[in-house]
Amino acid sequence: MGLYLNPNADAFQIGLNSEIYVDKSLVLAELNKLACTQGNFVCISRPRRFGKSMVGNLISAYYSKGCDTRSIFSQMKIGQTPDYDKYLNKLNVIKLDLNGWYQNAKVENNVEFLIGGLNNELLKEFRRQFTDIQFDDNSSISRCIKNVYSETGEKFVIIIDEYDVLVREQVPEQLFNDYLSFLNGLFKDTTLRPALALAYITGIMPIVRDKVQSKLNEFSEYTMLDAGQFASYIGFTKEEVRELCGKYGMSFDEMERWYDGYDLSDEVSLLNPKSVVSSIERKKMANYWSTTGSFEAISDYIRLNFDGIRDDVVSMLAGGSVEVEVSSFTNTLNSFKGKDDVFTYLIHLGYLVYNDKDMTCRIPNEEVRQEWVKAVKFDDDYKQIFAIINASKRLLDDTINGNAEAVARALDAAHVQVTNPLTYNDEHCFQSAICLAYFYANTRYTLVKELPTGKGYADLVLVPYLPNIPAMVIELKHNKSTESALQQIKERNYHEALNHYYDNLLFVGINYDEMTKEHTCKIERFVKE
């Protein structure tokens, strides 16, 4: 048993000891299918705080010969599957947290010796655990594995957490080249392949498509763009969170609004585990993202002067989706060629979520939306956008209070500030401007665009999730009249979907006149006949 070679199960046990622990052991069933096959090299990339390290600890505790975890896994979900113990504590495990090694090397001011130091520590552990095998003083990790395999026939599992840290940190070239040599020795040496039962690496970013890819091209990747069969194992599923909410007396609907939105497949939508756990522990829904992330990850990139990026940011802040081409991004931080690369990068970081059906991206939930607001708040290029967001509370109050003239003037300002002059009269941009102007309503309402109800589709419906505030149906008109907007709401029975709110329901008609570039508004309270 060692720290890195055949570690014990202590890190795994710490997770199990936590009051809130979600059983993700069925990931082992998927990995066991791949172990000792041609597809046994797996790379999974997910944002921070999604539980990558905890799953890595689970995988290590299952395979490692350095511990006996039969009594634990027999009681978990994996224990209820056939042949669950096929590889249980039967393989040599090498488990590395590359970020931990890198951060320690920075503190000790010897980053340039990072790979050499890592290799030396593992060499010591090989000598302690395999006393009958001779290891040369300059043996690499790959050479040590070969020696053990040739002498004993024992196979290895390699687990590397944060494998991409040296790519993200943009380290000095010599250190990066040392890292490439390290990867090359582990994963490109065909004579070593029979000794590896499984290689499992995780990080935030997918594999870089240049020098790193050439060292890791044997890996099958499972990313935020295509999570495959591993979609449900890193991150909390809706079913898991619903169960937690029932156990701890929390509102699932609120939990979903704050932390959901990561739709990785038709069947799997994930919530942010760290935020879910924090909200349960504190009995409070709030933005916990900033404890491990920074809005600068957004602002540093949306200020890049790429054509169309500002309009798309406005559209997403207003609750919309925008088209994105994800295939061109090379997964590096120094080769952004356009807004598609920026948005793809932010998808991998968890600030956006991708829909592969229509090839669009959007802001996933309320927590992340607040990070986007911080990003535009301090950016000169977006200060007018933030001004609209900041004024949105008064707009909502004016709407609820029936102050139609104030609503119209606020929409005048919003339309001018957030819309590109070339698309000023575009109806889609008009709708985005309206939705952004009502940004604060997200703290009180669920905003639904084009809601199918009655005899058609209502432009915008505000469904309250707080008590004692009115529901709203908002109909938008272009070069017509507010009266025609209200008439359409009534004639097509758009209020049918809001029958629970008949005692507190507003109809809002808004018209935009292209000639005067002014808005008019009329607000009526629904009266049931």
**Residue 522 to residues 87, 425, 461, Cα–Cα distance (Å):** 69, 21, 16
pTM given for the model: 0.90
Residues 258 and 339 in one domain: no
Residues 213 and 318 in one domain: no
Question: How many domains, in total, are found in the chain?
Answer: 4
- Which pLDDT tens digit goes with each residue over 371-430? 999 888 878 778 888 888 989 999 999 999 999 999 999 998 888 776 654 444 556 677
pLDDT of the residue at 420: 55
pLDDT of the residue at 358: 93
Residue 329 lies inside a defined structural domain of this protein: yes
Q: What angle separates helix 114-129 from helix 98-107, to the nearest 10 degrees?
A: 120
String of b and e for 225-262 (b: at least 16 CB within 10 Å)?
bebeebbbbbbbbbebbeebbeeeebebeebbbbbbbb
pLDDT of the residue at 105: 80
Residues 85 and 140 in one domain: yes
Q: What percent of the chain has pLDDT above 70?
A: 96
Residues 418 and 521 in one domain: yes
Residue 455 lies inside a defined structural domain of this protein: yes
pLDDT of the residue at 231: 95
The two tokens of residue 393 are 């509370």
Domain residues for the domain of 281 are: 236-286
| Structural domain ending residue among the three candidates 325, 352, 378 | 378
Inter-residue contact 486 to 524 (CB < 8 Å): yes
Choice among 28-32, 209-213, 488-492 with the minimum mean pLDDT: 209-213
| Structural domain ending residue among the three candidates 344, 378, 412 | 378
pLDDT > 70? residue 502: yes
Residue 3 lies inside a defined structural domain of this protein: no
Q: How many residues does the chain have?
A: 529
As a whole number of angstroms, the longest Cα–Cα distance in the chain is: 92
pLDDT of the residue at 378: 79
Among residues 509, 506, 522, 508, the alpha carbon closest in space to that of 471 is found at 506
pLDDT of the residue at 211: 65
Mean pLDDT, residues 23-31: 97
pLDDT > 80? residue 37: yes
Sheet strand arrangement including 445-453: 445-453, 456-464, 471-478, 505-513, 518-525
pLDDT > 50? residue 488: yes
Residues 408 and 478 in one domain: yes
- Which pLDDT tens digit goes with each residue over 72-85? 999 999 999 999 99
Q: What are phi and psi of 170, to 5 degrees?
A: 50, 60
pLDDT > 60? residue 172: yes
Inter-residue contact 462 to 490 (CB < 8 Å): no
pLDDT of the residue at 419: 61
Inter-residue contact 129 to 2 (CB < 8 Å): yes
